[in-house]
Chains A and B, each alone.
With several copies, the nearest count.
Chain A
Amino acid sequence: MARMTMIEAIRDAHAVAMERDSDVVVLGEDVGYFGGVFRCTAGLQKRFGVERCFDTPISELGIVGTAIGMAAYGLKPIAEIQFADYMYPGYDQIVSEAARLRYRSAGEFTCPMVIRMPTGGGIFGAQTHSQSPEALFTHVAGLKTVVPSNPREAKGLLLAAIADPDPVIFLEPKRLYNGPFDGHFDRPSVPWSKHEAGDVEPGYYEVPLGKAAVVREGSAATLITYGTMVHVALAAVAESGTDVEVIDLRTLLPLDLETITASVRKTGRCIVLHEATLTSGYGAEVTALVQRECFYSLEAPVLRVAGWDTPYPHAQEWDYFPGPERVRRAIDKVMEAE
């Protein structure tokens, strides 16, 4: 067992997968010699050779498009998009091609690939280095969407994603790369070495896709979230003094609806939290499902806490980011209602 940052855990998952299966290849902008702008692929080119981990031209279309061809051939490409904000040039290839290849060929051609991309804000990256576009993937039939919240699970989820026979969008909350950020931007940052989820098992293991985790049990309300916001949620709950159950979805699609409904039926109150823009965000889907499945258990409307419906600003980053204070207020509010 080694303490790792999320970056190291992701790198380790790559190395383990590449060691096991010579069909696993890695491509993306700056991922080769340099090892990625966040260093998630550092050392892979040296270790596995330039054909297994290589730099690409700056074309997200080309990265995804060629990776689809590779996947159809029988390889298992892992494509890195440098920031999720830059996935749009590759979006057509993801939506119209990767997601539908199995369907339209009735299983004759398939697309086992992982598209990794750093998401979320908290690093003063402004509108082009901060986005959380998960809802643009969950709306597309044929894609799985995964968001890890700590090093241990990031490794296991990534290995499960690589093993999956279908395209998986793997969203990495960049603000968690180095430590479990809880939204208190004005306090010293905590490294993963100080957090038990920084303990990463060596070798191969999977954290299964499609299964959520109850990261804090509670009886008063259910707080459903994922990624960076898991840590924000835990901090807010601790500070609120309310016994809120916190669920880390881990996989957004397929969704672990059972874990959600079991919790909300128990607590009768629910908050959905994410960093992406509120309107048509993934929280809308979760809310719609919860009110449908748990209507007769709900004692208050499901509340959503999310990024505002504006582009992600720069100077006002912390006014935009749905931090612990906003979550606490939502907890108070959901508890008030009868």
Chain B
Amino acid sequence: MFEEVSPRLHVPAPAIRPGDDPDFSHVAIPRAGAVDRPEPDTRPEDMREMAFSIIRVLNRKGEAVGPWAGSLSGEALLQGLRDMMTLRTYDARMLTAQRQGKCSFYMQHLGEEAISCAFQRALRPGDMNFPTYRQAGLLIAAGYPLVKMMNQVYSNDGDPVRGRQLPVFYSSKEHGFFSISGNLATQYVQAVGWAMAAAIKGDRKLAAAWIGDGSTAESDFHGALVFASTYKPPVILNIVNNQWAISTFQGIARGGAGTFAARAHGFGLPALRVDGNDFLAVHAASQWAVERARRDLGPTIIEFVTYRAGGHSTSDDPSAYRPKEEGAAWPLGDPILRLKAHLIQLGIWSEERHKQAEAEILAEVMAVQKEAEAIGTLHSGQRPSPRDMFEDVFAEMPPHLLRQRHEVGY
């Protein structure tokens, strides 16, 4: 027999709240280069431990070490640095524009730039991302014109989606960026469906699904894993664990699981867990998953471990629920600084060139901003027409919508 204990509700809570000193000593971080690289056709059950460690390439000295190093050329790394810097500069400008009332809303990537910028380097045209609102780096790395992004942020007449969407919900088929929904997680399972279609047609294309740590709790996450596990289409299921879901720390969504990557184990799917602030590690892991997809070995789950250094969005003030200094204490560092250090260490970059690049990028982004603002911003200049409001509900406008459009006078 045993002694009974009255049950109680276990509500996970972060150890650290505003007023406390940031402390990440509970986050176990392996040395760079320490984690093995299994062959991409390894059976999931033979690589379970990958879900409980963190693949890292860049060490503290800025060297690329271990079995995951070497997936990118110096040139590609230089471009990657530029992409990340562009994204950060763009974010800063748009945040300010939002405060100036030029757009309604904005969401930044601060601290998470490496993930989307490096991942995109592992894809090729024809592949399709199903992103969340925090992967604009995919677009930048794919060469989508910055001015189109800005036009959308401003909801001006150059907005490719005609003012219908929130600022950061981009869409570009050509650049492998699926239209963002705004409803969390819904597109995770669509990515699996897209990949199933590629498999049905036998086309050599893959889909990449994106989700945040908090959003893994949604039903669509399960639907995606179930269908991926059953039909094994060429899909990469990315989880960006940036520690927070608005005000809620990752423990609420993760519960008793060691990691989010571990969710894969219930489905017989292989999972990697990666330092999301290490451009090289992100790329190498992505490349591994891409190889699986291209060899018809099936889906891969990747958890990118990072930290949301900024507010959730322009509507959010994180100092209400976490110490202001927490971001600075984050042990995986800043992705831009880490790649910069590596490039300097490689001898193909320098502090001076970095400063110069910063200035160039700023000038470039400001020029684009001028161009976009010349068209218009949310409340001024040329804006999408009310007529646009009635288009694209259907391919062909049915009579009742036509009547309504006439009522508005268009």
Contact = CB atoms under 8 A, between A and B. Distances in A.
Do A and B pair up? The answer is yes
Highest count of chain A CB atoms <10 Å: which of B215, B253, B389? B389
B165 A319 contact: no
Q: From DSSP, what is the main secondary structure of chain A's interface residues?
A: loop
Interface stretch (A99-107, A150-158, A262-270): A99-107
A123 to B, nearest CB: 8
Chain A interface residue bracket vs B: 35 or more
A177 interface: no
Interface string A206-225: 00001000000000000000
A129 to B, nearest CB: 8
25 contacts: A37-B247, A55-B247, A58-B215, A58-B253, A62-B189, A65-B192, A65-B223, A65-B224, A69-B197, A72-B194, A75-B200, A88-B183, A89-B219, A104-B169, A106-B171, A108-B172, A110-B395, A127-B165, A254-B400, A308-B389, A310-B389, A310-B401, A313-B388, A319-B389, A319-B408
Interface of B: 8-9, 11, 13, 17, 104-105, 128, 130, 155, 159-166, 169, 171-173, 178-179, 181-187, 189-201, 207, 214-215, 217-220, 222-224, 226-227, 230, 245-248, 252-253, 255, 315, 320-321, 378, 383-386, 388-395, 398-401, 404, 408
A234 B224 CA distance: 46
A109 B160 CA distance: 12
B393 A102 contact: yes
A119 B61 CA distance: 52
A300 B184 CA distance: 45
Nearest to B187: A97
A85 to B, nearest CB: 7
Nearest to B398: A254
B356 to A, nearest CB: 37
Interface in A137-156: 141-142, 144
A33 B218 contact: no
Contacts of A96: 181, 183, 186
A301 B398 CA distance: 24
Nearest to A110: B395
B146 to A, nearest CB: 18
Nearest to A308: B404
A92 B17 CA distance: 35
Nearest to B248: A55
B189 A142 contact: no
B180 to A, nearest CB: 8
B223 A104 contact: no
Contacts of B17: 33
A142 B394 contact: yes
B66 to A, nearest CB: 34
B128 to A, nearest CB: 8
A70 B193 contact: yes
B11 A51 contact: yes
A319 B183 contact: no
Interface in A253-288: 253-255, 257, 278-279
A257 B224 CA distance: 41
Interface string A221-253: 000000000000000000000000000000001
Given A62-B189, A210-B398, A319-B408, A314 B165 contact: yes
B166 A59 contact: no
Given A62-B226, A319-B408, A104 B401 contact: no
Interface in A280-338: 308-311, 313-316, 319-320
B393 A103 contact: yes
Given A106-B161, A107-B392, A316-B386, 11 more contacts: A33-B13, A37-B247, A58-B184, A58-B217, A65-B224, A89-B218, A89-B220, A104-B179, A124-B378, A308-B401, A316-B163
Contacts of B179: 101, 104-105, 108-109
A18 interface: no
The 6 closest A-B pairs by CB, nearest first: A69-B193, A315-B163, A66-B193, A128-B182, A57-B217, A65-B189
Contacts of B392: 102-103, 106-107
A125 B215 CA distance: 20
A61 B220 contact: yes
Contacts of B164: 103-104, 106, 126-127, 311, 313-316
Most buried by A among B165, B190, B201: B190
Contacts of B391: 106-107
B165 A108 contact: no
A59 B196 contact: no
Contacts of B172: 108
Interface string A80-120: 00000110110011001100111111111110000000000
Contacts of A315: 155, 159, 162-164, 378, 383-384
Contact of A166 (B191, B395, B401): B395
A278 B17 CA distance: 46
A110 B215 CA distance: 25
B404 A309 contact: yes
B169, B192, B219, B320: most-surrounded residue (chain A CB, <10 A): B219
B400 A141 contact: no
B173 A109 contact: yes
A70 B393 contact: no
B244 to A, nearest CB: 11
Contacts of A89: 218-220
Contacts of A85: 182-183
A8 interface: no
B403 to A, nearest CB: 9
A34 interface: yes
Contact of A25 (B192, B200, B223, B400): B200
B227 A56 contact: yes
Contacts of B165: 104, 126-127, 314
Contacts of B182: 85, 126-129
Which of A107, A144, A319 counts the most B-chain CB atoms under 10 A from its CB? A319
Contacts of A68: 190, 193
Nearest to A256: B399
A190 B120 CA distance: 47
A134 interface: no
A70 B400 contact: no
A12 interface: no
